Structure 1
Amino acid sequence: MPSPASFRCVAGSASCARGANRLTAGSAAATHRSIRPENPERSMPSVIQRLHVDAIEVGTPWPDLADDEVHLWLEQLAPSASAREVSAFGRQRLGQLLRHYSGIDAEPALMHNEHGKPQPGIDRYPRFNISHAGPMLALGFARSTEIGVDIENAQRSMRSHELAARFFTSAEAEQLAQLAEPLRVLGFMRLWTCKEAVLKAIGRGLSFGLDRLAFDINADAWPHSLLHIADEAGPASEWQLHQFEADAAHVGSLAWRGSPRRIRVLRKL
């Protein structure tokens, strides 16, 4: 059972590098293995959709959140903004949006599950998730279903081949290794956001295991579909995944389990 906690913004996802550091610290999580569907009859894939954000709605006045919608808010602070400033802005924006969606003009009361994921304290609050990378902030909201969002800087320098071989499935690592170097990092980051968005929607984060869900990747470095996921997360076919490019440098993914919903991409004027 989640325990009451004072209002605070917990992204539920660190950057890819910090996440890899946490995995490295635990030998069990860092053990590389090839995934096999725990129940082959439940292994129908889920095709990943691309979400185009070039026509972002200006949320003025802020729209209501319908039961069949998902709202993705994208905010970009000044490039000079520190991580602390982005985090503080995220807390402020999250509180504003929860008050708007719930109609409760009071500081949001949140709970945290046993894995530390923040959750609404009362039913009138929608489910939510938040992520940031550099000056870019992403917030996802949905009613009656858990949601996960992750955003990362795809232009960062990293040893993507080593990280993929250590933490992803062997098939994913092989597919990434076949890509030319400029695409390899991009494909790695896109795949990372897919995995983390799903794990955040599950409510477990990286402790669930990055190699317990498997994707395939096309020659353009886009994850194409969720092939398999551990049985405890439900059939792969029940998952909805949408990838987006917030700008030239940032890629992200949005995930939830359940029926397709209309997605509205928003920003504050």
Structure 2
Amino acid sequence: MLSLNLEKLILPNNEIHFYYADINDFISKVGVMQERLTSDEKLRAGQFKFQTDQNRFIIARWLLRSLLSNYLELDFGEMILKYGEFGKPFFNTNQNIKFNLSHSGDMIVFGFVKNFNIGVDVEMFKSNFNVMDIALKFFSKKEVETLLTLPEYKREVAFYRCWTRKEAIIKADGSGMSFPLNTFSVTIDSDDKAELIEMSNGDLNKEKWRLFSIKLSVDYLAAVAVEGNIGHISSKALTLLEL
């Protein structure tokens, strides 16, 4: 029997729990994990063309269900996941726990909080594109100006700070890419200072939002956005416990 190497999880009202997992640490058990998923999830996994994408979906869904079952003290089969208009999953009960997940490359991340909308994003650093070309198409004028003030060797990490923070916000908002990235601005010049600083259309109230950046390794950067006054985030790597 497989389980996560975690004690009983308790989520305080004013705290975010963030988890990350390397797919390579779980790939040998993907068959066992698939058996625990619902028939709908197995069907969705089978719709992926490539085995790598199937495995990523199975592992991510098994990890999500394992974490939720720990928090809520429910069995896998008792948890019915629903999806919003733009594909954001949610738990269709009166439970006040909110969650979100993201993946890039071999990394999967999860965020959990009580009572507030939450979004997470993770990106693997890539160098096969021009940072400024993408920024000019998708970022706000203020963010582009900030990028241009930085020396070239600092622009790549600043770009990923910007991208992950903006993606986390629109995922928390639940609007998907229907929320234009260039209509709001975030700080990008520091891992420690992450803030929503400007909105051009008034759809976001910057006073309600909290942002966090998490450097997972030299290759991955993640961000968490929560629509609430949450001051603390804890981060933990997920590992397997085989019974």
Structure 1-normalised TM-score? 0.71
Identity %: 27
With 151-160 and 136-145 compared, the bigger mean Cα shift is at: 151-160
Give the deviation of 1:163 after TM superposition.
0.8
Q: 2 CA distance for matches of 1:169 and 1:243?
A: 19
SS of 2:222's equivalent in the other structure is strand
Q: Which of the residues 68, 93, 104 maps onto 2:14?
A: 68
Contact between 2:98 and 2:116, CA under 8 Å: does it hold in 1?
yes
Q: Unaligned stretches of 5+ in structure 2? A: 28-51
* Runs ≥4 residues deviating over 4 A: 220-224
Written as runs of structure 1 = structure 2, the 5 A alignment for 1:1-269 is 60-78=6-24, 82-107=52-77, 108-124=79-95, 126-218=97-189, 224-229=194-199, 230-233=201-204, 235-269=205-239
TM-score, normalised with respect to structure 2: 0.78
Aligned residues: 210
Conservation of the 8 A alpha-carbon contact between 2:26 and 2:59: no
Deviation string, structure 1 residues 17-72 (Cα, Å, up to 9, x no partner): xxxxxxxxxxxxxxxxxxxxxxxxxxxxxxxxxxxxxxxxx962142222222110
Partner Cα separation in structure 2 for residue 224 and residue 258 of structure 1:
14
Question: Who is 1:54 aligned against?
Answer: none
CA RMSD after TM alignment: 2.4
1:203: Cα distance to partner? 0.5
Pick closer, same or farther for the CA change 1:79–1:111 going to 2, 3 Å: closer
The residue matched to 1:232 in structure 2 has which SS?
Answer: coil
- Identify the structure with bigger relative contact order (alpha carbons < 8 Å, sequence gap 6+): 1
Tell me if structure 1 keeps the 8 A contact 2:19–2:235: yes
